[in-house]
Amino acid sequence: MDPSITLLLPEILLDIAAYLTCKDHVCCLRVCKAWHRSFLPIIWKDVRVRTIGSIHHPYPVAMKRHCQYVVHLSMGYSRLLNYAVVFPELQKLSVHVDFARQEVPESDLKKMVLRNPSLAQLQFNGRDSSLGASFWSTLMMVPGLRSLSLTDGCLRGNEAILAFWELCAKLTSLHLVGTQFRQENHHWLATCSAPRQIRVLKLERIKGLTGVEQLALLSQCPHLQELDWHLNIRDMNVVFQLFAEKVASGQWPDLERIECPSKDGLSGPILGQMQDDDAARILKSLRHLTVLSLALSKFGLVAFQALRRHFGTLRELVVRSCPSVTSVMLVEILCSCPQLELLEGDVLRASDAVESAQWNCLALKALVVHFAFEDIEQDLQRLVFERLSKLTRLEKLHVGTNRDPRESYPNGLDFRLSSGLGALAKLKWITRISFVGTWQQMGVKDVQWMISTWKHLTVYGTLNQDPATCSALKDIVIHKEGATITEDRRKA
């Protein structure tokens, strides 16, 4: 087949579009009529309504003309009336309240939802506003709705809460972030509909429900597969212990993704952490594990030994800020998890990295660890870069540290060509590099090499400890299209 004809096939163009930016998609519209027909649905598939001055973008008239292509739609609540059209293929609707504690007339959102019966996902950011029982009852009339995300919303009164949980009984995915339950009493817990179909559940910053009450709600989801549960309450250790007991009893036989990080402590004290023994009990009981996130927990040797049985299926592991996680443990993970795509840990000693067996995590896309070098180990820099060069699917490389800048590691990974940076030329998909908290002495050639090798690179950290040199290097990055830099602004 003639190659020029091949490039007119919609299937081929769809595959090409996956590697292009939105700006490139617009350019492709102007190539020919065939490309215009293929790229128009791609451009209009995901629409985010914005207001610049008093003008809505995209224009309501243009939206009406292309409404049949819209699959994902995001807008502010006050703009619902401007786009009162039917989107026959709409699957996901994201609505956010424009101002905190703004009065929300439910009628506009009800009309938008009922106008689009194909809707499967609804995301609502309420900014402390509340929606009543009639709204949640209206959502019951949307036949295909299976996913709901409620951020900073308020459920006021038992009637609204009961209507909300009645809706949740038909959902398979539920995200509650910053949600407030303001009930007259807790009798609704005994009478609310059980969300038995929920497979994916996220609970974060829940107000009005104790940890035990949240655990009781979890217990009503027997088919749970993915759990993202952020707790920072008193007696949190007890709640995690009860959770571990329920997992061990077979309460959730399909559970394969667990994210239970402790609060980071930046906005208040950590009130409790998951203990090593509880984590181990959970890991021993799970049949299949793909994602585990226990940041700031007491994860240690006992839990690590239980984790080994899941090395073959593990795709994401976050054990950041877990003091008992050692460099040797991180190396074993890199050598033993063939499907691993994300790893977040703390310190990985350079000597452990280069003396270990071959890293087997060739599917890794994001690596967040700090490579620490002793003063006499600077000759290992090149060897560490060579190890990293084998991770050809890597997109994000964070080798900095969250320590206080006054305790920064001067001997971190050195991003200079003279230290072996050039070995990373094999990593074609890098989009983000962070060395925040480390000392760098990069020069013009080093920076130019990085931004020419990785066209859409974002850099986090200080390029050079000398202020004048750092400023000159930043200018090079800023004037390179597609490259950006975010400097480490923590004061020493």
Strand 173-177 relative to strand 180-182, pairing: unpaired
Contact criterion met (CB below 8 Å) for 262 and 232? yes
- In terms of pLDDT, which residue wins out, 439 or 22? 439
Q: Residue 128 CB: number of other CB atoms within 10 A?
A: 13
Mean pLDDT over 366-381 rounds to: 89
pTM of the model: 0.87
Contact criterion met (CB below 8 Å) for 440 and 404? no
Beta bridge partners of 318: 293, 344
- In terms of pLDDT, which residue wins out, 29 or 108? 108
pLDDT tens digits, one per residue of 247-281? 999 999 999 999 998 764 444 555 568 999 999 99
Q: What confidence score (pLDDT) does residue 405 get?
A: 43
* Residue extents of the structural domains in the chain: 1-43, 49-224
- On the question of pLDDT at 8 being above 80, the answer is no
CB neighbour list of residue 419: distance below 8 Å, 6 or more residues apart: 378, 381, 382, 385
pLDDT tens digits, one per residue of 442-482? 999 999 999 899 988 999 988 988 889 988 888 887 776 66
Q: What percent of the chain has pLDDT over 90?
A: 53
Q: What confidence score (pLDDT) does residue 1 get?
A: 45
Mean pLDDT over 418-439 rounds to: 93
Q: What confidence score (pLDDT) does residue 408 get?
A: 47
Average pLDDT, the chain: 86
User: Most distant CA pair in the chain: distance in Å?
Assistant: 72
Mean pLDDT over 302-323 rounds to: 96
Residue type, 409: Y
Strand 50-52 relative to strand 55-57, pairing: antiparallel
E strand or H helix that includes residue 212: helix 211-218
Most confident of 229-233, 364-368, 378-382: 364-368
- 485 alpha carbon, distance to own chain's centre: 21
Q: Cα 316–317–319 angle (5° rounding)? A: 160
Q: Write down the CATH number for the domain with range 49-224.
A: 3.80.10.10
Q: What is the three-class DSSP state of 147?
A: strand
